[in-house]
Amino acid sequence: MKKKVLFVATVVKTHMMQFHIPYLRMFQEMGWETAVAARNDYEDPADCRIPYCDTYYDIPFERTPWKSQNWKAYRMLKRIIGEGNFDLIHCHTPVGALIARLAALGVRKKGTKVIYTAHGFHFFQGAPLVNWLCFYPVEWVLSFVTDVLITINKEDYARAQKHLHAKRLEYVPGVGIDTGKFRGNRDSRQDKRRELGFGDGDFLILTVAEMTRNKNHITILKALSLLREEPEFAHMHYLICGRGEVWEELADSARILCIDDHVHFLGYRTDAPELYRCSDLFAFMPFREGLSVALMEAMSCGMPVVCSQIRGNTDLIDDGVSGVFAENTPQAVAKAILELYRDPERRAALGRGAAEKVLEFDDRNVHKRMKEIYLSL
């Protein structure tokens, strides 16, 4: 009889498909039966086709924990887990993992193992008090019913080691990234620039991140507005790849700041490697991260980086070697951008440092480590 594994996350398209297909394939190759429980978040539900998944359960998870749909999601998942005879449940995302661990209370007594990968605790150094009051007590309680807790950055690992009570704690360096895919040559740089409407003399600043307040695109917009009087500004263009609820607000801000001719909203893209390779600087100033895949992608392409000095980013960036930390203010970001614009040799050195540093997070290392954890159970 085949062993069975269930992967749980809040959504399919923007989480399961982004991070977990290699692990579904890994289990199928080991002869396991695979299942996924997550909300179908595709614009056209018919587009939801998960590779290496034998059974898919569309669960109406909501990102906000207290939404009534999550009570329905709990009942559905409890029935699925109770009847599924799963040997292993691997849960991700705060809401998906919360509901999955509650739903799995009964089957853990029968031998089912529950793994939770924390992609970034909501309680972290510098987090608002409300985050600590809402999320820390929940994680503390649920840690008692977690067989393996996996953290993907060192700050979370240290905090879990000190305060949480999972049976076992592991550090894994991220979700893994195929660095070779992004390392490709930069010969297509000019072609991609022409396609986007830019010339060789333009200085392209790139951010790849969903448009939410946490990602903090507004600080970079304000930084650019501070550079309007500099002669270099004529050649600067800010490219934003992603979608999200603050898109219109950011577009309005660009107009109000009188920099809209230099800001380009590219939306959701499937050509990220080419965009990284044709750009000159990766700017990334979020308030909160677990371990950013986009930042790792940019580093794999040998891009110089200016970013905020926060959890996750500090795992990836050695300041002055593989990137530059900037205080999260428009003034500091503007200063960093201008200094890097004026110093191409330093940009090249930072790019080389970034490409070397990110090899630690290559998917071959991460997948090997995850397989060891799975087999140990």
Q: What is the DSSP letter of 20?
A: S
Note the pLDDT of residue 14. 87
**Higher per-residue pLDDT: 325 or 183:** 325
Note the pLDDT of residue 187. 63
Note the pLDDT of residue 186. 60
237-250 burial, b at 16+ Cβ within 10 Å, e below that, comes to bbbbbbebebbeeb
pTM: 0.86
- Work out the mean pLDDT of the chain and round it to a whole number: 94
Give yes or no for residue 22 having a pLDDT over 90.
Answer: yes
Task: Measure the CA–CA gap between 319 and 219, rounded to whole angstroms.
Answer: 20
Determine the length of the chain.
377
Note the pLDDT of residue 27. 97
Note the pLDDT of residue 206. 98
Note the pLDDT of residue 11. 96
Which residue, 89, 95, 99, 114, is CA-closest to 7? 89
How far from each other are the two terminal CA atoms of the chain, in whole angstroms? 17
Q: CB–CB of 72/99 below 8 Å? A: no
Note the pLDDT of residue 185. 64
Which residue, 376, 373, 375, 377, is CA-closest to 152? 373
Task: Measure the CA–CA gap between 51 and 99, rounded to whole angstroms.
Answer: 24
Q: What is the pLDDT of residues 176-188, one digit of tens each?
A: 888 888 876 666 7
Question: How would residue 168 be classed by pLDDT, with cut points 50, 70 and 90?
Answer: very high
Residue 113 DSSP SS3:
strand
